[in-house]
Structure 1
C-alpha cells in the first residue's frame, strides 16, 4: 500500500485467498515489489495521477507482471487521455469528464443501445450492448463518431468512479470488474463490416486504456456458425480471458438468471425489470443510491486524481 496514493474510501482489497495472486490483498512478495517498481519508474517521469496500487495492478496484470510492458501501457494511456483524434486539441479527458453532456443519447440508443444497468449476484455492474441494432448511417445523422467515442470513454471513467466504488460499498468487498451481456440478435453479413471502423476504434479504447475490467461476458443470440468461429478465436486468447466468456444461442435466459437477479435483468432478456422510461436510459444501480455514493478517495479526489473543485471548465460540447 502507498500512503500517498491509496487513500480509498471503499473496500479496496480482497480477502486473502478470495482472488488469484496479483489482485489487491493477495500479492506475492515479488508482485508487491513490482508495484513499487512501476510506481517509482512513473514518478521519475513526472506522473502523479492514477498511481494508486489497484490501478497499477490492473496494468501489471494486463501485461503478465512485466514491469516494462506495464509502464509502456500506462504511458500510452496517459498520452491518449491528453491528446488524440477524438476530442479537440487543448482539452484532456479529465476536462471533458468534468462537464460532459450527451443529450443525443436517447436517439443514439434507438440504433445502438449500450448501457449499465443494476448489478449481478456478485455485486458487479451489469453492462449490456446490443450490437445487432447498430446502424452507423442513422447515427451519423444524429451525432459524430467522435462524440460517440467520447461518451464511451466517459462511461469507462464512470466505471472507475462512481460505479465500482459504489458497488464495492454495497457488497462490502472490493469489486473491480463488470458483468457484460453482448447481444448479437440481428447481426448479419453487413452489420459488422459496415461498422468495423467504429468498432475497431472502440475496441482499442477498451483494451489499451481500461485494462482488466471484464469479469464475465455472455455473448447471447450467437448466430449459426458462430460457435465454430469462436472455437478458433478462443484458441488465440489468454485462457484466463476465455474462462470469463460464455457463448449462448437464443436459449440464454437461464444462464443469465444464474448470474443476474431477475429483478435486475431487463424483461427483454428474460428478467422482470421494467424501468420507467426504459432500462437502457435508467442508469439504475448503487452508484445512484445516496448511501453508496462518494468520491473515489477520502480526500475527495476522483479516480483521475482531480478534486471536483479543481476540474477545469470546458466549452459546451456540440453535436
Structure 2
C-alpha cells in the first residue's frame, strides 16, 4: 500500500517574487543546506514573453546513512529528478520530483506548489504532498513504507530531509535563525533563511492553539480527511476539532475514522443535532429530578459535569418521559460540553477538547438496575460512544457501593476500551485522601455534598411522583413527535404546482443560505428576484407572501401573468436535484427587494420515435410521474460579515461551501453567489 503525506498550507508573510528570489539561491548549491550537494540543469525552456519558465534538474543529496551501508549500496549520493514550472504572470511555481536512485525498488514522488495567498497578495502559500511506494524489500515492504514515511514527515518538521530540493527544510532553531539573520546584508538572504529555517506561525500557531500537539503524519491525516469531506460529503463540513476527535478515536487510521465520521454526520443531520441547543427545552420533570449539571472546571481547564446518579430515580424518569426525551437531554448535555470546550479554549489559551465528569454513586441500589432503565442507559451509551468520541477526558466515580460491580458488568462491554482507561473509581471515602479528588479538582470548587466548600446547584433528585407517569401509548406518541419536530420545513411539489418561498432583503449585501434534502422525486431549483412583492399581500408566520394551493403544504407565489425578464428575473442558473440528494448553497444578493426560492417539478425529456427509450428510463419516468415530489428545507439570511466569519479553514482559503460556483470563487466579483449539490 502506498504511503501518502499531505501538509497543510504554509503561509510566508512575504511577496511571491521575493520568495522566488530566495528559492533560486539554493541552486546549484547552497551552504545553508549542506546535504544538498549539487544540481545540474538537464533541460530548460520558456515562452517568448518570458512569463513562463520550465527547468528540469538532476539533484544530488548526501543522505544521512552509515558509510558501510553506502558502500554496500554502491552509492555516495542519492539522485532526484526535479521539474519546476514557474509562471510569473499567474505567480505560481509547481515542483514535481521523483527519485532516480533505487527507482527499481523504491518510488518516491513529491509535488509542491508556491502561490499567492488568496486573501493577501503580499503573502505566499506553500503546499506539499508526497508518496512512497516500496516495490521490493525482502517481504517487508509495508512495514518499511510506514517507517520511512514517519521518518520523512518527522524530518519535515525537524531538519534536513526533503525528497527533491528540501523545500521546507528547517536548518535549526531560533538561535540559528538569529545568527543567520545578523549575518545577512540583503533582503533576499534574510527571506531565504526565514522561509526555509522556520515553520511559518500562521498555521503552526493555529494548530497548537486550537488543536494541540500533532505529529506531521497526524496533521496530514487531518488535512486529507477534511479535503475528502469537502470533495465528497453531502452536507456541512465539520470543524477541524470535530474531525480530529474521530481520528484520535481510531488512532489516526484514515479509513476507520472516515467511516465512523460519515455515519455520525448522517446521524446528526437526520436528527438535527446541530440545532439541539437552540430547539431543545428540558421538560420540568427533568429540571426537577435529573441530578446532573455543569460545575466550574477541573485543574486542566476542562469543563466539569457533576452527576449524582445514586440520587436519580431512573425508573421514574423513564416512566414519565420515555427513552427519547432522556436521550435528547443527554445529547444536549454533550452539545453544551462541546460549546464549553470552545469557550475554555479561548479563556485558557490552549486547546480544551474534552470535559471531566464526576459521578457520585451514593444511594445507588438495586432499584437502579430496573431492566427498562438499564436498557435506556445502554442505548444512551451506545449513541454517545458513536457520535462523541474523545470528548470525555476523565471520569471520576465516587462512593461506589457494593452493587456497583453488578452495574459495571452490564454497561462496561458497551464502553470503548480507550474510554474505560479514563475511569477512576473510588469506594467509600477513599476520594478524600492523597491521589483523590483534589488531584484533579481545585479544593475551592469541590461540591458541598462531597464535603467541599462550594455550593453545587445540581438538583438533589428524589422519587418522581407516580402521577407524572405516562402510559406506554403516550410515551410512544411522544417519542414520534419528538424526532419529527425539526427546524426544517416540508413541502410538496407537483406538476404545474411548484413550491415557492419568499424572502425580503433590505440590505443589498445580505447572504441567503439554504440546505434542503430531496426526500422523494426530482426537482429543479431556481432563485428569482423581483422589485415588488407577489400578490396577494397576506403573509404567513415565516414572512412569505402566500398564494394558498389546494394541495396542502405547497405555496405558489409567482402569478401566471408575470413575465420572466419583465416582472421578475432569474439570479442563479437552474439546478436539477435528484431524489436522495442533499443540496447546500448560498447567494450573495446584489439588490434589495424580494427573492423567491422555487422548487419545480422536474419533467423527464420526451422520447422521440427515432430514439427508443431504455427500460430503466421508462420505469423511472413512471415512478416519478406517479408520485408527488417532497422536499425538506431550511433557509437563513445572514449579513455578509457574519457569513464570512462563519467559514474557518486551516488554509485561510476559499470555503468548500462555494467551491462549485465559478462566480463565487472569482475575486473580481464581490457580489457572488453559489449553488451546490452535495
User: How far does the alpha carbon of each residue in 1:162-206 deviate from its partner, in whole angstroms, 9 at most, with x for none?
Assistant: x11221222221111111112222222341343111101210222
Give 2:274's match in structure 1, choosing from 87, 91, 94.
94
Q: Residue in 1 aligned with 2:541?
A: none
Q: Residue in 2 aligned with 1:153?
A: 331
Cα distance 1:300–1:244, how it changes in 2: closer, same or farther (>3 A)?
Answer: same
Shift of 1:147: 1.9
Rounded Cα–Cα distance in structure 1 between residues aligned with 2:443 and 2:277: 32
Q: Residue in 1 aligned with 2:310?
A: 132
Rounded Cα–Cα distance in structure 2 between residues aligned with 1:279 and 1:30: 43
Map 1:153-192 → 2, pairs under 5 A: 153-161=331-339, 163-192=340-369
3-state secondary structure, aligned to 2:296: strand
Shift of 1:79: 1.6
Give 2:450's match in structure 1, choosing from 249, 269, 288.
269
Contact 1:60 1:70 in 2 (8 A): yes
Map 1:63-78 → 2, pairs under 5 A: 63-78=250-265
Shift of 1:253: 3.1
Q: Residue in 2 aligned with 1:58?
A: 245
Quick one: higher RCO (CA 8 Å, sep 6+), 1 or 2?
Answer: 1
Rounded Cα–Cα distance in structure 1 between residues aligned with 2:427 and 2:206: 37
User: How far does the alpha carbon of each residue in 1:120-140 deviate from its partner, in whole angstroms, 9 at most, with x for none?
Assistant: 111111111222233233224
Cα distance 1:137–1:52, how it changes in 2: closer, same or farther (>3 A)?
Answer: closer
More helix by share: 1
Asked if 1:245 is matched to 2:423, the reply is yes
Shift of 1:300: 4.9
Shift of 1:94: 2.6
Map 1:1-319 → 2, pairs under 5 A: 13-14=207-208, 24-47=211-234, 49-83=236-270, 92-104=272-284, 107-108=285-286, 110-140=288-318, 142-161=320-339, 163-194=340-371, 195-224=373-402, 241-251=419-429, 252-254=431-433, 255-275=436-456, 278-280=457-459, 299-300=645-646
Contact 1:13 1:173 in 2 (8 A): no
Contact 1:59 1:211 in 2 (8 A): yes
Matched length:
264
Q: Residue in 1 aligned with 2:552?
A: none
User: How far does the alpha carbon of each residue in 1:89-124 deviate from its partner, in whole angstroms, 9 at most, with x for none?
Assistant: xxx2234432222142xx335544122111111111
3-state secondary structure, aligned to 1:157: helix
Rounded Cα–Cα distance in structure 1 between residues aligned with 2:314 and 2:291: 12
More strand by share: 2
Contact 1:2 1:52 in 2 (8 A): no
User: How far does the alpha carbon of each residue in 1:72-95 deviate from its partner, in whole angstroms, 9 at most, with x for none?
Assistant: 1111111211225xxxxxxx2234
Deviates more, 1:148-157 or 1:207-216: 148-157
Deviates more, 1:114-123 or 1:219-228: 219-228
Cα distance 1:50–1:214, how it changes in 2: closer, same or farther (>3 A)?
Answer: farther
Q: Residue in 1 aligned with 2:142?
A: none
Contact 1:261 1:271 in 2 (8 A): no
Rounded Cα–Cα distance in structure 1 between residues aligned with 2:236 and 2:400: 40
Cα distance 1:2–1:25, how it changes in 2: closer, same or farther (>3 A)?
Answer: farther
Q: Which runs of 5+ in 1 are unaligned?
A: 5-10, 16-22, 85-91, 282-296, 307-319
Cα distance 1:12–1:131, how it changes in 2: closer, same or farther (>3 A)?
Answer: farther
RMSD: 3.6
Cα distance 1:215–1:25, how it changes in 2: closer, same or farther (>3 A)?
Answer: closer
Rounded Cα–Cα distance in structure 2 between residues aligned with 1:158 and 1:228: 31
Shift of 1:241: 4.1
Rounded Cα–Cα distance in structure 2 between residues aligned with 1:181 and 1:2: 40
**What is the TM-score when the length of structure 1 is the normalising length?**
0.70
